[in-house]
Amino acid sequence: MPPARKSVEPPAEFGIQRDLLPGRYPLLKVFPGLDRIKAFRALPGKEEEREVLTRTQIEVVPEDVWMYVAPHRVPSNRRARWRPVVSAEDCVVVGHSHLVESPPLVVYLDILHELCHVIQRFNGRELWDPEYAYVDRPTELEAYEVAIREARRLGAQDTFLRDYLRVEWVSERDFRRLLRHLSVAAS
């Protein structure tokens, strides 16, 4: 019988305030301890890191969504039915059910991914560049690389990473391309 796999958890310093009602909160109220974690401090740039910590808000919404950076305006290339929270300030939107129910490691990797996007936008990069498919977009790949690197450092296997990377708006063919981009085994 193969040895049982231990559950992979985020760093002990990372907390999730799961009892929040929908509303807007400071980053560290929702994710206490995040600022003490090596992966957070390793996000690109030093000045940007402080900006993220002091300015970024978390907006918990009742909608059934994962996480995303609130655009300053609705991107022109987005699906017509997607009605994002729009914010002039740096804000990461989190679905209430995702915050409350998702495994801690998934929430942890998601916030690292989204904070990478906040820094990218701070540096003038386009998060929703229509010239690229989602799975080929440089900003997405860079943010996923941050999350995947941290997941692997914590001991996550490719089976977990495949599940983590699977999103409903990506075809199977595109999903396999994303796995190749990120050096995650397809099976």
Distance between CA atoms of residues 187 and 180, nearest Å: 11
- Between CA 175 and CA 49 the distance in angstroms is 30
Residue 152 has pLDDT above 80, yes or no: yes
- Model pLDDT for residues 80-133, shown as the tens digit of each residue: 567 889 998 899 999 999 999 999 999 999 999 999 999 999 888 999 888 999
pLDDT band of 49, cuts 50, 70, 90? low
Q: Which amino acid is at 54?
A: T
Q: Is the pLDDT of residue 12 over 70?
A: yes
* pLDDT-derived band at 157, boundaries 50, 70, 90: very high
Q: What is the pTM of this model?
A: 0.91
Report the distance separating Cα 136 and Cα 177, nearest Å.
8
pLDDT band at 31 (very low <50, low <70, confident <90, very high): very high
Cβ atoms of residues 108 and 149 within 8 Å: no
Q: Give me the residue spans of the domains in the chain.
A: 23-181
